[in-house]
Amino acid sequence: MLIVKTNKAQYEYDIHSLIKAFYPEQEVKVLTPESVIKDRKILELPVAISLDFSEKEVVLKFLQANNAQIGTSHADTYIWQISETDLADYKNVFKRFLYTSLREQTGISLPWGNLTGIRPTKIAMTMMEQGKSDEEIAAFLQDKHLVSKEKTELGIDIAKREKALLDELHYEDGYSLYIGIPFCPTTCLYCSFTSFPICVWKDRVGDYLGALEKEIDYIADAYREKKLDTIYIGGGTPSSLSAEELDRLLTKVRNTLDFTYVKEFTVEAGRADSITKEKLQVLYKHGVTRISVNPQTMKQETLDFIGRRHTVEQVVEAFHMAREIGFDNINMDIILGLPGETAADVEATIEAIKELAPDSLTVHSLAVKKASKLSQWIEQNGIEMLNNTEETMRIAAQGAADMEMLPYYLYRQKNMSGNFENVGYAKEGKYGIYNILIMEEKQTIVACGAGTISKRVYPDGRIERCDNVKDVAQYIERIEEMIERKKELYKDS
């Protein structure tokens, strides 16, 4: 564990995120005078990095500078002398100081510089709306946040595409709907989403759908004067439901909600071991316009290792089945940085996907979540087996370009392998609108189902949220309470 001690409680999130990005193999703990320490053993560990804030300066010390785990530089102390001009942009100047000190100490440069948020394109989008030029935006990202030239160009390119798509939506008088299906065939090694084994819950799926139907009824009534732009059914794995259960859900959605303005209706068909011809026919019958068939990798050994109990051949079969039924907007997801995978493995996956020719490709950089089994695996085996690099990111980007896809949305997560990003690529006219909306937070999203979070976006940009309980049984039993939470969030809307 890498202990970071500060003399003042401020910017702990940014301090933790940046230091963790430079030392991904370490568990990082930031201690302030106000920290509540439940594990007293932490206090016995040596402090590796200290940050002392005062009115005139900030002093950063690497207290184990000779330890290879901490740094390679001979310097162990870095000082930021705070000027009058620094005070107007104190937080960003501090982050720049912390980043450059860590860069000098480790010899590592991060592709996204000192940015710690999950929505880097939001900066470019906001500046575009303010009338800033590409050159001004690029200078801001590179000078103020030390973002690489390559990522700067990517961020601006995506922001332009996002803005063009979002300009066609109904912001103030519209909304989008998310429906969560929290069941999966099995839980993958890397997953931390709310999911429950379908085999255990199969006898209560009907009860769950009944609760969902109550939420959908409330939404249809409360938002009858609003325009519904997009619908996204995710999970979990929605296709873990039977064909009959999917038909029940989609019939309710179709018969209850106004589809007049719906531009996109997505269902994550997801894992190949949950996809059947009957289920795909149900989705097609109800007018689902976009589906995902997600391999994550086309290397069988990796699929077996991460707990996806299907074969590469099943992925190919499911994809062809969807095409034959008539789906003309199919997305595929892959993850870079999976345990043991090399650049050659990524290239093989991309070549296999190019043969299928999907309409969009979402490239995820593996994110290590504390709640996942992967986190435990790393504790036992080390992080060296997770190998996402600039080369693997370029292989995926080139593969998307070869399929005539353009990058259209981007987001980041904490603890991402290689400190990179997730990028959605799509052919012209096949962009996932909901994906942009959830990232850019421009429109109200009403979410129903266990573990979902609704967001109300106000005209002034303010955002308020309410969540549903994660446990399926609690969701079913407390559905009226979940509806009351929404009534409070959306009152006077």
Both 98 and 235 in a single domain? no
pLDDT band at 192 (very low <50, low <70, confident <90, very high): low
pLDDT band at 72 (very low <50, low <70, confident <90, very high): low
Q: Is residue 154 part of a domain?
A: no
pLDDT on residue 307? 79
Minimal CA–CA distance to 261: which of 391, 333, 169? 169
pLDDT on residue 41? 83
Q: Is residue 429 part of a domain?
A: yes
Q: What is the pTM of this model?
A: 0.88
pLDDT band at 373 (very low <50, low <70, confident <90, very high): low
pLDDT on residue 6? 96
CA atoms within 13 A on the CB side of 301: 5
Q: What is the mean pLDDT of residues 38-47?
A: 82
| Cα–Cα distance measured from residue 6 to residue 30, given in angstroms and rounded to the nearest whole number | 7
* Final residue belonging to a domain, choices 108, 141, 160: 108
- Residue 354 CA: distances (Å) to CA of 50, 358, 399: 49, 8, 7
Q: Is residue 24 part of a domain?
A: yes
pLDDT on residue 155? 95
pLDDT above 80 for 71: no
* Final residue belonging to a domain, choices 108, 134, 149: 108
Task: Give me the CATH number covering residue 407.
Answer: 3.80.30.20
Q: Are 432 and 441 in contact (CB under 8 A)?
A: no
Q: What is the mean pLDDT of residues 197-216?
A: 92
| Cα–Cα distance measured from residue 70 to residue 440, given in angstroms and rounded to the nearest whole number | 36
Q: What is the mean pLDDT of residues 96-118?
A: 93
What is the length of the chain?
Answer: 493
| Cα–Cα distance measured from residue 174 to residue 261, given in angstroms and rounded to the nearest whole number | 9
* Final residue belonging to a domain, choices 56, 75, 108: 108
Q: What is the mean pLDDT of residues 381-389?
A: 64
H or E, element range at 393: helix 390-402
Q: Which residue has the tokens 């303005």?
A: 261
Q: Is residue 142 part of a domain?
A: no
- Two structure tokens written together for 390: 């600039």
pLDDT greater at residue 259 or residue 202: 259
Both 326 and 244 in a single domain? yes
Q: Is residue 133 part of a domain?
A: no
Both 211 and 348 in a single domain? yes
Q: What is the mean pLDDT of residues 207-232?
A: 96
Both 359 and 469 in a single domain? yes
| Cα–Cα distance measured from residue 59 to residue 120, given in angstroms and rounded to the nearest whole number | 28
Q: Are 422 and 413 in contact (CB under 8 A)?
A: yes
| Percent of residues, the chain, with pLDDT higher than 90 | 70
Both 90 and 185 in a single domain? no
Q: What is the mean pLDDT of residues 42-60?
A: 91
Q: Is residue 208 part of a domain?
A: yes
Residue 55: domain span: 2-108
What sign does the CA torsion over 354, 356, 360, 365 have?
A: negative
Q: What is the mean pLDDT of residues 299-323?
A: 91
Both 217 and 96 in a single domain? no
pLDDT above 70 for 124: yes
Q: What share of the chain is helix, strand, coil (3-state, %, to 5)?
A: 45, 20, 35
pLDDT on residue 379? 60
Q: Are 402 and 351 in contact (CB under 8 A)?
A: no
pLDDT on residue 43? 81
Q: Is residue 127 part of a domain?
A: no
pLDDT on residue 68? 47
pLDDT greater at residue 216 or residue 411: 216
Q: Is residue 146 part of a domain?
A: no
DSSP helix/strand/coil, 445? strand
pLDDT on residue 377? 61
Give the count of domains, the chain. Answer: 2
pLDDT on residue 66? 46
| Cα–Cα distance measured from residue 208 to residue 304, given in angstroms and rounded to the nearest whole number | 30
Least confident range from 54-63, 189-198, 280-289: namely 189-198
CA atoms within 13 A on the CB side of 379: 10
Q: What confidence tens digit (pLDDT) does each residue in 459-472 have?
A: 888 999 999 999 99
Largest CA distance in the chain: 69
| Cα–Cα distance measured from residue 254 to residue 214, given in angstroms and rounded to the nearest whole number | 14
Q: What is the mean pLDDT of residues 446-456?
A: 96
Both 72 and 191 in a single domain? no
